[in-house]
Structure 1
């Protein structure tokens, strides 16, 4: 049974004990070691050379069989298999087999990393927002521009915010697939009992004013708001708070680290005070969406990929809205996230071509709508007809509309190997151990700077 601590549990209680953190960080920082197995990384103009693909794909015949590795994000295994079955039935040149290669993004990434040295690579695999760039630095994936042209994949029809997340050095390194933004979910019944207007708060300061009313409404909640399970979402969702206060982990445009800026510290201090001083926020020990659907809390922030699951599990009407802003900025304070599809470098050209054709099919507008209807992920194609989808599930329109006010994630999170785990560790200390915020952010900056100097800068 899930626990809903009003006061946060010890660090191990949020699923991020020191041994697990160090093992994940070790995995994340293994780019140089893995590359060394094949002679070490080429640091002379790696980006430009890696983005060059002179293959004449018209002379290549697609492979007869390929595998697709997925961790089935958003409980998507059934709909993914449905789409694969449809693809296999639609043509006879290539059969695709779905392989569940991990329970989450980290597990599938670990398996993919291991396969670079041990063999058994997939032909298509999912790349999460915090893993694909290390594959680029290792030069273990291929740019997809030439293949996209060869199979008539219209990159211009993919939502700009999503497709841009996989671009670097003038090349496209993955194709958007299970993509999302976080949105603000709330229990409409609790809102009504507290006498609140049926909408999400515009700012965190406004919600801070609402929280005592929610706690006093006789709903039996242990917290008005549930912060996410830190091991999985802290680095992602807390960008909302950092940006709202005018800070950030870093920048979307360069490799600066800003987590120790005055504004960043103030944002995280607000969250710590919400837990320890204000007493209106809790910390999820496992799943904030589960805490919400159990009516143990009144609101939380989670991915749109959780939308359908939340709606199915909740016994109350679910409300949703844009992410709140902060005292410095109210828009854009929302990030995108999720996974794309990419192709390994060290597989035959025949497999790479077959993989590209499969990716094109999986992300066709009508298939993007099918995938979205089953999961809550946002359809990745501009031309996708979402009218029936949003008529059936109006809350999905909120996620689509919020795309217009998103910003690219800070590079310090998504481009630094292991940074997401380091951020989660620091946030766990702040929110479950009441550690000094400024001290934690100073230590985090030192750790992130080391990651950049050791594992990023030499491989750019």
Structure 2
């Protein structure tokens, strides 16, 4: 079922959008709309006056609400004729998606919306957001102003559907004091094999500590297991998919997920967080975990307050691939299509302002998100937080996520279900991944393949 299609333009819609039924497949809200007809190309933007008021719906990723308010204040100072109202759409990207969907049934929709790596594509194919090419040109901004590896993530059908905003990579976070006590190097492991040699020593050195649990804590499955587990799969030669070919039950993928299960059940040095693995690390209950770079600033601050030494490093590689084994993630900003040209132009001004070089550096400094603007000056951030250099350096060796997670409607939820069975319920790995493959192929065959360009 694979097809030789490029990352930038692998789909061409044949008339109607995927629609509500397709987008609702398996899980998650749909965002049905009027298809992907690009309304922006029929407008002479030079004759449009920006609206006086627009709204921005966000989940405040990386606990960034105060930073977002500061960016809005700076935008208003530069554009005094435009007021931006910040709307809390929920505590995560899925809740924002649900509220954005609900708004489609009414007459008022938010003008700018934070869209995660698994939601922007659904918005694009359902016609609920506007292609930004003409709008960017109208406000004098080029896609070349953004980091190439980030802006290109939002290209579909040769059009630009979002700009990068709160973008992250997973990082390997570890307790240096725990590593020192175990007599292992105070650095991130180069490979998971290396860490599996360290882990029993790390756990043994901490067994007497009150409340101590594991040498390693897998992130909570509800917190995007399908995202972080790509690292282990890729390093061991597996994957969720190769373009549209589902490879979740390939031998290498089964071997990788068996290793994950063994680290928890058989070897006993790893666990799965029930809520937040980075919080477990901050509490001293575990020695290492993987979490978003967006957690960097808050984690280092908490560690300092607790007199704890936390280090960060690249994600470990595997016996097949040492690099690149790190996925990018996070969110971009989209502009709603169900609104007026005046509001859309004002929205474009805002979107490009809060992602320009200065604003990107401001958000990065406050959170740990990657600087999305190509010319963002991060020297001050690195001077204050040397660990931030790891975020920027790892961006150079990232890998595009598997289609099964980002482009199959409901695919991420299916990955989480399989991970739950393997990691928490001790299910047989091969059978679980075979079931996962069948579920993903059903989504592909029913909801995606009919819209692929032949």
Common fold: TM-score over 0.5? yes
2:414 is matched with 422
Shift of 1:196: 1.5
Partner of 1:142: 130
Deviation at residue 459 of structure 1 after TM alignment: 4.1
Unpaired stretches in structure 2, ≥5 consecutive residues: 1-22
Q: Is contact 1:25-1:421 (8 Å) kept? A: no
Deviation at 1:51, TM superposition (A): 8.7
* Cα distance in 1, alignment partners of residues 434 and 104 from structure 2: 35
CA distance in 1 between partners of 2:443 and 2:171 (Å) = 30
Tell me if the contact between 1:179 and 1:337 (Cα under 8 Å) persists in the aligned partners: yes
Say whether the 8 Å CA contact 1:243–1:329 is kept in structure 2.
Answer: yes
1:376-391 → structure 2 map (5 Å cutoff): 376-391=368-383
Residue pairs, 1:23-422, within 5 angstroms: 27-28=27-28, 30=30, 34-35=32-33, 49-50=37-38, 53-218=41-206, 220=209, 221-251=212-242, 254-314=243-303, 315=306, 316-422=308-414
Deviation at 1:433, TM superposition (A): 0.4
**Equivalent pair of 2:28/2:94 in contact (CA under 8 Å):** no
Question: Which 5+ residue runs of structure 1 have no aligned equivalent?
Answer: 1-22
Shift of 1:366: 1.1
Matches of 2:192 and 2:206, distance apart in 1: 23
Deviates more, 1:51-60 or 1:326-335: 51-60
**1:100–1:308 CA distance, 2 compared to 1 (3 A):** same
Task: Return the offset for 1:26.
Answer: 5.1
Quote the offset at 1:145 in angstroms: 1.0
Which TM-score applies when normalising by structure 1? 0.89
Contact 2:40 2:134 in 1 (8 A): no
Residues 181 and 205 in structure 2, CA contact (< 8 A), matched pair in contact too? yes
Distance 1:54 1:397 in 2: 44
Moved more, 114-123 or 337-346: 114-123
CA contact (8 A) 1:123 1:347 kept: yes
Say whether the 8 Å CA contact 2:232–2:256 is kept in structure 1: yes
- 8 Å Cα contact 2:26-2:409 kept in structure 1: no
- Is the 1:83–1:367 Cα contact (8 Å) retained in structure 2? yes
Cα contact 2:25–2:443 (8 A) shared by 1: no
Q: Conserved in 2, the CA contact under 8 Å of 1:123 and 1:344?
A: yes
- C-alpha deviation, 1:155, in angstroms: 1.3
Q: State the alpha-carbon separation in 2 of the partners of residues 24 and 228 from structure 1.
A: 26
- How far apart are the structure 2 equivalents of 1:27 and 1:153? 36
| C-alpha displacement of 1:264 | 0.8
SS of 2:289 mapped into structure 1: strand
Q: CA RMSD in A?
A: 1.7
Aligned residues: 424
* Counterpart-to-counterpart distance in 1, 2:78 and 2:151: 26
Pairwise CA distance, 1:25? 6.0
- Is the 2:26–2:413 contact (alpha carbons within 8 Å) kept by the matching residues of 1? no
| Structure 1 residues 163 and 174, CA gap change in structure 2 (3 angstroms) | same
d(CA) in 1 for partners of 2:360, 2:205: 41
Distance in 1 between the 2:420 and 2:145 partners?
A: 40
Q: Measure, in 2, the Cα distance between the counterparts of 1:147 and 1:165.
A: 18
1:51·1:169 contact (CA, 8 Å) conserved in 2? no
Secondary structure of the structure 2 residue equivalent to 1:118: coil
Give the secondary structure class of the aligned counterpart of 2:122.
helix
Deviation digits for residues 94-119 of structure 1 (CA, Å, limit 9, x no counterpart): 11110001110010001111212233
